[in-house]
Structure 1
Amino acid sequence: MTDNSPRPVDSGLKRRSLLAGAAVAGAAATLGGGRIGIGTASAATHFTLPKGADRLHVLVTGDAGTGEAPQFAVTRAAREIHARKPFDIALGLGDNIYESGPNGPDDVQFHTKFEKPNASLDFPWLMALGNHDNSAVFPGDGGWLRRGDAEVAYHRRSRRWYMPSRYYSVDLGVAEIFVLDVNPLAAYIPPILSPEWEPGGRYMTEQARWLDRGLRASTAPWTIVCTHHPYANNGPHGPAGAFDGLPAPLNGQWLKDFLERHVAGRAHFLFSGHDHSQQVLDAVPGLKGTRQIIAGAAAKTVHASSSRRFRARYENYTDRGFMTLDVEPAAVTLTAYQVAAGRADARKAFTTVYRR
């Protein structure tokens, strides 16, 4: 969602019509073959990952990359917390470069929409790819998957930005984090003409095998999976399998199937963005105990009400904000912060503790 103002009643129908029409018109767009596989960081170019940590303080943001005043307000509030209790890492849950992604790894947008807003937040930012990062025909269609490779290449140019490949994992000791690229399964222009990227193609098949092996072998007390698109969602985009009220395959059914098969019951948490809201959902059917958290309000909001489709412990659809995690071997403390318009600080809105 890119319009933060209240919407007329029929705007959802208009949006669905636009997306469906664009998907048909753009099906022949250049989706790109090839891929960037699992990679490793060039350690000399990055702030140090806290390997072997027995505790972590984590900043969680999503849908941040506008370069506009609300993003700066959120990061200013995060800096105040960082000054009191330093963060070890951040999780960036996609839509890193609005509205249509970068034009190559040297695009000035990396400076204006990431480096400048996050100045002095000097720790590794583990970044995921979102649909806006892979735009083709219109902003956010997810139809040009090769565009996201520019964000992988930027990994070599930034000390903060950590994205060694389109999907990757980092074992930090007390937690192992798996950052996925599920855009081929949820694009508004699906990759039906590019076998490499299709749901049963090589890219997603190899990613699934890699994820299965990694989650099975992990010995970390906590496993965290990060995606841009959520499985469960009470906000306007809706949940996987019903995204934006669109017909299959545009509705994210492929993503729903993938997460049920490879993440549900295998990871402790699923963190996602995409919906410009904050949601802490509880006992989501289909996730088999994996907790779905949505943190997509780092620059935009939706001004909507909850569908109440899933039971929620906390929801906020009107305020921008971010979340923090305090990860220890026996417990994870999650805190949601609101950053209201016209305020320079963050208000602690919700806290909960998950125990093993």
Structure 2
Amino acid sequence: MSTDRRTFLRQLLIGGASVSTLAACGGESTLNNENLQLPKVNQPTNPASPETPGTETPEPEKPVESLSFIAIGDMGTGNIGQYRVAEAMRQIIRDQGCDFVLGAGDNIYEDGVTSVDDNGFLESFEYPYQNLDVPFYMCLGNHDCASTIFGGGSDNQRGDYQVDYHYSDQRYSTKWHMPERYYQQSFGKLAEERPFLDLFVVDSNPLTSFYQDYDKRFSWKDYGYPQQLWMKHKVAESKAHWKIAMTHVPYLSNGKHGNAGDLDQGMRMLFTSPDADGLRYKLFLEEAFGNNVDMLVTGHDHLLQWLKPTESMGPAHIIVSGAAGKTDKFQDPDRNPVYFQAENELGFVWVNLTEERMQVEFYLVDESTGDFRLAYSRDETKPVSATEPAPA
């Protein structure tokens, strides 16, 4: 990819897109954060109702000293491997604690669901995780937005049904959380009433699809740029102590899909989408999250990796956790420097955050026996200094 194209696309992301994207969203041409809204790509079938009169006022939330979560991805197979990983997760949650699970996409293989009451929700999510009593915060993957088993991502409307399931009063449990295709979620409070953690969830599929989706709602003009602008401002506004971003397609990976900006190099002649290389997606992530988030959690490659921070993204630690239902081999294990990586192994990542430190543990799970083990653990100081955001 030429330097000229990179420079041109970066200028579009930083400046040139601002007026057109706000216009596409119905906002004003000035960067007024109050006017930035999620694009109405889908209409939830059963939006939550306001609090009914006469209900008791909840007690103020107590400040938290730490939060723990598990990160998984590419899990929605419904096969024995997914069940083995789920049981290992249950035991870690029992022994070490866990406040929530991050699901980094490909929630329902191989081609998502076709309605809010599709059996895929049961077979690929509810049944495998029925013994886990924690909320799951979900992200869309390419197989969630596909109409073929190849997961080309050319049928983005299928992802809308996964959002609708969040609001359905017919769902099997209340574990599934996906209030929009992309969203922000806060967790916990510090003593000064700031959120302990803000999670920013990206919908990477329309930004990196293998095949062209001809539904204009998911074009870069009407979806990519508005999402980038919304995400950038939400991160800038956040007062949270910790900030974590989650997306399906990796920013960096030593697996077969490779790094954003050069995704699927050997296969691109088969694709119809001009953004299959992920260059605009790479710039999206850098502009929205560079030097602003402590961790980026991804999936897509069916491996486990903890990649070292890179200058283009600042101090953020980059996690690939895509081995909760499928496994794969590395394409180039030395492409990016890592703290840890494992191929051909099922597994997941457990993270504990305190005010000043993060502990990250990688667990490997034997598909045949269900036995699991701690493969790597590392303790790090908080990557991004905790400072109040500047006034907008």
Q: TM bucket by the smaller chain?
A: 0.7 to 0.9
Matched, 1:175 2:186: no
Matched, 1:164 2:179: yes
Match of 2:212 in 1: 190
Q: Which amino acid aligns with 1:227?
A: T
CA contact (8 A) 2:306 2:341 kept: yes
Report the secondary structure of 2:375's partner residue.
strand
Change in Cα spacing, 1:321 to 1:196, as seen in structure 2 (3 Å) is same
Q: Which amino acid aligns with 2:87?
A: R
CA contact (8 A) 2:326 2:346 kept: yes
Q: Pairwise CA RMSD of aligned residues? A: 2.3
Q: 5+ residue gaps in structure 1?
A: 1-32, 45-49
Q: 5+ residue gaps in structure 2?
A: 1-38, 52-60, 188-194, 383-392
CA contact (8 A) 1:167 1:181 kept: yes
Distance 1:127 1:188 in 2: 22
Match of 2:239 in 1: 219
Matched, 1:90 2:105: no
Match of 1:21 in 2: none
Distance 2:217 2:137 in 1: 25
Shift of 1:133: 0.1
Higher relative contact order (CA 8 A, sep 6+): 1
Matched, 1:290 2:316: yes
Shift of 1:42: 6.7
CA contact (8 A) 1:284 1:311 kept: no
Match of 2:23 in 1: none
Shift of 1:52: 5.5
Shift of 1:63: 0.3
Change in Cα spacing, 1:348 to 1:203, as seen in structure 2 (3 Å) is same
Report the secondary structure of 1:91's partner residue.
strand
Shift of 1:292: 1.3
Matched, 1:107 2:107: no
Change in Cα spacing, 1:84 to 1:221, as seen in structure 2 (3 Å) is same
Cα deviations by residue, 1:63-87 (Å, 9 ceiling, x for unpaired): 0000000000000111111122331
Match of 1:333 in 2: 359
Distance 1:278 1:319 in 2: 8
Shift of 1:34: 6.2
Distance 1:228 1:122 in 2: 24
Counterpart selection for 1:142 from 146, 153, 173: 153
Q: Which amino acid aligns with 2:200?
A: F
Relative to the length of structure 2, the TM-score reads: 0.76
Change in Cα spacing, 1:51 to 1:178, as seen in structure 2 (3 Å) is farther
Counterpart selection for 1:250 from 262, 265, 276: 276
Matched, 1:322 2:328: no
Distance 1:274 1:353 in 2: 25
Report the secondary structure of 2:217's partner residue.
coil
CA contact (8 A) 1:178 1:226 kept: yes
Q: After superposition, where does 1:48-63 map in structure 2 within 5 Å?
A: 53-63=64-74
Count of matched residue pairs: 317
Counterpart selection for 1:354 from 372, 375, 380: 380
The structure with the larger Rg is: 2
Q: Which amino acid aligns with 2:211?
A: I
CA contact (8 A) 1:175 1:327 kept: no
Q: Which amino acid aligns with 2:261?
A: G
Cα deviations by residue, 1:223-266 (Å, 9 ceiling, x for unpaired): 00000001111111111111111265321112112112212222
Distance 2:50 2:135 in 1: 11
